[in-house]
Amino acid sequence: MGRFHPSACRTMPAPLPDELRRIAERTMAHYAQDPAGFWAATREHDVSQNVGALLRHVEGPPPWDILDLGCGPGRDLATFSALGHRAVGLDGTPAFVAMAHQHSGCPVWQQDLLALDLPAARFDGIFANAVLFHVPTSELARVLGELRAALRPRGVLFVSNPRGNDQEGWQQGRYGVWHSLEGWRRFMRAAGFDEFEHYYRPAGQPRERQPWLATVWRRGGAT
């Protein structure tokens, strides 16, 4: 999603409680207001540093199966496909799902972040660029567990979030969480991930001008 300043056999997800459904619907409605404008504003953003951070840690010979979580209109999905990988997009906004498929030619799943329905052990890597901060902290452990289950053993998860001091709430029609590095580490380690690296973006700027925290993780454990 966009820049945010300081939100086998499977069973269908259970219905969301009213408050979580309101958070999800209102946040997705924000992105649905002007999909073309969002695409125009973000299509030239250079996130090659983030794409590279994910791919350099994936093990085994390419091409790899990559999930672009919260793919938006498909900018990064198209990049993964152009690099020769088997990319799948996922977004909750219907207009973005259609745009992402058009721009990338890849399959794109329409799913809510708070009600994911992902196949087990399906992906070598998951790219969560500017999206998981929309998950309320009350639901984050569950969502991270679902992402871990969707990764193959030793699969890689890249995450970029707006950094902060672990505050949470609404801003400009979107729900978000501004995670600190230590706070984010606690969630990820509890969910069964091992850290590869972290850095702040954009590169080359003083820390006060680096609003994004990027982290890269491996699915830990034997199963």
Domain ranges within the chain, ordered by starting residue: 18-62+120-219
Q: Name the class of domain 18-62+120-219.
A: alpha beta
Beta 108-110 vs 174-178: how paired, if at all? unpaired
pLDDT tens per residue, range 148-194: 999 999 999 999 999 999 999 999 889 999 999 999 999 999 999 99
pLDDT tens per residue, range 51-100: 999 999 999 999 999 999 999 999 999 999 999 999 999 999 999 999 99
Q: Coil, strand, or helix at residue 162?
A: strand
What region does 70 belong to: left with phi over 0, alpha with psi -120 to 50, or beta?
left
Report whether pLDDT(11) > 80.
Answer: no
pLDDT tens per residue, range 114-132: 999 999 999 999 999 999 9
User: Angle at which helices 137-150 and 181-190 pack, to 10 degrees?
Assistant: 50
User: What is the structure's pLDDT at 17?
Assistant: 83
User: What is the structure's pLDDT at 221?
Assistant: 80
